Every structure is written in structure tokens, then in C-alpha cells.
Amino acid sequence: MLLKGRLLTSKLFTSPASLRCTATVSNPKTAILMLNMGGPQHTDQVPEFLLRIMTDRDMIQLPVQSRLGPWIAQRRTPEVQKKYKEIGGGSPILKWTELQGELMCKDLDRISPETAPHKHYVGFRYVNPLTEDTLKQIEKEAPERVVLFSQYPQYSCATSGSSFNSIFYHYRQHSLPKNIKFSVIDRWSTHPLLIKTFAERIREELNKFCETKRKDVVILFTAHSLPLKAVNRGDPYPSEVGASVHLVMQELGKSNPYILAWQSKVGPLPWLAPSTDDTIKGYVKQGRKNFILVPIAFVNEHIETLHELDIEYCDELAKEVGVEEIRRAAAPNDHPLFIKALSSIVAEHLKDEKPLNPKFLMRCPMCVNSRCMESKNWYRHICA
């Protein structure tokens, strides 16, 4: 039995030369705000990070949230800090996002000179650099245009939706800068270059299996799970993840058996299933013992790939249940195809007359969140 996961990947965020970003323009014509939840860079940021997650009603809805949220955050802090310590002391997501943004803008200056100079900014939801602080910085640098670019390829109201709602909240309390044009890229789960990136990441690992078993390796796509309550409200995330999976397998010529499973469930309520760990266990029982795990909804390495997939599943679980060989496809990170995907998505968006996707203005059919209604009305107005 043995895993050849991506444990090495955890070393990538320490201080690779490739991650050193160069200074960029201070007065860009086009600003691209890269939105994500973020991750603590040091373990002492974990309490604040968890507190922000647990008190965000777009991300999670708890009874008496203002009291229960902080209590859960405090309780979970030691366990989460331990996990970050085990992957080297913090999340690499900021460093990857900075690098992706830097490379994306270089390419954008080349392929879209009419909107240059471009500059990327990072806006995290739960940890520095917080979106609201970055918006203030952007305003000072006074670009002509700001593209709000969700870094989640597949849209969920809990992730992308929460980031977009937080921008609406910020401007409810601060006046909207005149002379800046805002537009939105909310989802890109089927972009051909994203699909090619994932296919390449899978081929990299598939080629490491010996030829005799290569075609039987199970490609196990894994994405963060979602409570069934959110799914039943009509959250588009599961279908958008499914669309990515389908296209990646088409790109690979349906070369292997595959399955989509869901990871990182928390709490006792029902979430999307099957879980990634149960899927590994179930297939091993059925005699399928070779796997590639593919984090299809993560564009950077972070705790869910470096700890949950690499340590908990590819190492501990694989040994426990008798897996023969298990590998993990790297997240897109700085793969050249992925950087090209990012710059193409933005360039296509900048050329397009539409400042946002009409789907973005549509609420889930069973949405009961008044913040979504106010936020969508605001975007309809500011992106008109």
C-alpha cells in the first residue's frame, strides 16, 4: 500500500522563489479584486478567523448566532490551530493568490492593452487583507474600473455570495466612489482553460501509476460539502461542481472511472454526500484500491487539501483501509494554463458589454435571506 499524495505541496508555501511578487503599478486603469474567504497565515490569526466565519450568517446560520457563533469558534480554535501547525504554521492561500494575481495582470497588460495597466488586489472575507480594507486602498488608487472577481469557480451563496454581500454592506456604510465603474465575475466553473488545467493536473498524477493499473485508477473529484438545507434552497454550487467534473472527464476522453464526493462536513445536520472518506472506504471494499483525489472546487492549496486530503485521507485513512496507491492532484496554483484561464476570463469580461451575469441577480428560489435581496438590488443598480 502506499500513498504518493501531495505532501510535498505543503512545502510550497514556505518561501519558494516563485512566490516572491514584484511591485506593481500604483495607479492602475483597471483594478481586479480577487475575492476569497482567505485563511490564517499564522496560528494566532485562527481565533479571529473562526469568529468571523461563525458569525457570518451568509456562511452559516445558527440559532442565537451572536452567542453560539463565538462559543463554537472558541471551542474549535485549538483543534484548528493544531491542523495549521501540521501543515507548516499557516495557510498558503494569500501567497498563491498574490502570485496568481501578479501573473494574471502581466498577461492582461499584454492581451488587453486598451484596459492596461491592470493591478490585482486581494479581498478576503475572514482574515487580512479584509475586503473592506482593500476597497479603501483601491479607492485611493482611483482606477477607472474595478472588476470584482470571485476566486471560487463554482458559485455558492455561502462563499462567493457572502463575499459579494460583504461589499454591499461596506458601501451601505461608506459612500460609493463616483467615477469608478464596477463589474462582477461571479462564476466560471466551465471555462475551457480551467477545465484543461484540472485535466493536466490529473494527467500529471495518472502518469505516475504503473501502466498495468493506470486505466483502473478511480478519479475521485472532491469538493467542500454544503448543508442540505442550503442545497434545498436552490444553491447552485452542486450543479456547478458537477458541470466542472463532467467537462474535465470529457477533456480526459473519459479515460477512467470517476466519482464526485464531498469533504469537510461539520456539525450534526445532513450535508451533501457521499463524503470523500466514505467513498474511499466504500471503493476499497469493492476492490478498487487505486485513487487520484482531485480538489475540483479549490484553486489554491489550503488546509482542506494539505491537511484533510494529504494527511487525513492519503496518509492515515489509506493505511487504515488498505489502499494500494493514492495520489492527490495539485490545485491549479500557478499552473500556466490556470494563469491563462484567469487572464482570459477577465479579458473576455472587460470586452463584454455586460457588467454582470444575469444569473448573479437571481436569488435562490427558496432564499429567505433579506441580505441577499438588498445586495442583489444594489448590484443591479451599481452595475447598470
What is the closest distance, in whole angstroms, from the C-beta atom of residue 156 to ligand FES in the complex?
8
User: Both ends of the chain: CA-CA distance in Å?
Assistant: 58
Judged by CB, which is closer to ligand FES: 113, or 358? 358
What is the closest distance, in whole angstroms, from the C-beta atom of residue 76 to ligand FES in the complex?
24
Q: Report DSSP letters for 257-321, one per residue.
A: -EEEEEE---SSS-BSSSBHHHHHHHHHHTT--EEEEEETT-SS--HIIIIIIIIIIIIIIHHHH
Strands (E), the chain: 2-4, 30-36, 118-124, 145-150, 181-185, 218-224, 258-263, 290-295, 325-328
Classify residue 24 by burial, with Cβ atoms within 10 Å: 0-12, 13-18, 19+.
middle
Under 8 Å between Cβ of 376 and 164: no
Q: Which three cell numbers stand for residue 306?
A: 494539505
Cα separation, 229 vs 262, in Å, equals 15
Judged by CB, which is closer to ligand FES: 108, or 382? 382
What is the closest distance, in whole angstroms, from the C-beta atom of residue 73 to ligand FES in the complex?
22
Ramachandran area for residue 305 (φ above 0: left; ψ -120 to 50: alpha; else beta): alpha
What is the closest distance, in whole angstroms, from the C-beta atom of residue 164 to ligand FES in the complex?
10
Judged by CB, which is closer to ligand FES: 235, or 310? 235
What is the closest distance, in whole angstroms, from the C-beta atom of residue 158 to ligand FES in the complex?
8
Judged by CB, which is closer to ligand FES: 84, or 155? 155
Cα separation, 268 vs 247, in Å, equals 33
What is the closest distance, in whole angstroms, from the C-beta atom of residue 69 to ligand FES in the complex?
18
| Beta sheet of 2-4, edge-to-edge order | 2-4, 325-328, 290-295, 218-224, 258-263
To which residue does cell 487520484 refer?
Answer: 292
Which amino acid is located at 205 in the chain?
A: E
Report the Cα 330 to chain-centroid distance in Å.
Answer: 13
Enumerate the β-bridge partners of residue 224: 263
C-alpha to C-alpha distances, 112 to 32, 35, 255, nearest whole angstrom:
13, 22, 37
Judged by CB, which is closer to ligand FES: 145, or 233? 233
Judged by CB, which is closer to ligand FES: 185, or 341? 185
Judged by CB, which is closer to ligand FES: 311, or 372? 372
Judged by CB, which is closer to ligand FES: 96, or 152? 152
Judged by CB, which is closer to ligand FES: 143, or 161? 161
What is the closest distance, in whole angstroms, from the C-beta atom of residue 300 to ligand FES in the complex?
24
What residue ranges bind ligand FES (CB under 6 A)?
Answer: 157, 161, 233, 235, 363-364, 367, 369, 372
242 three-class SS: helix
What is the closest distance, in whole angstroms, from the C-beta atom of residue 49 to ligand FES in the complex?
23
What is the closest distance, in whole angstroms, from the C-beta atom of residue 230 to ligand FES in the complex?
7
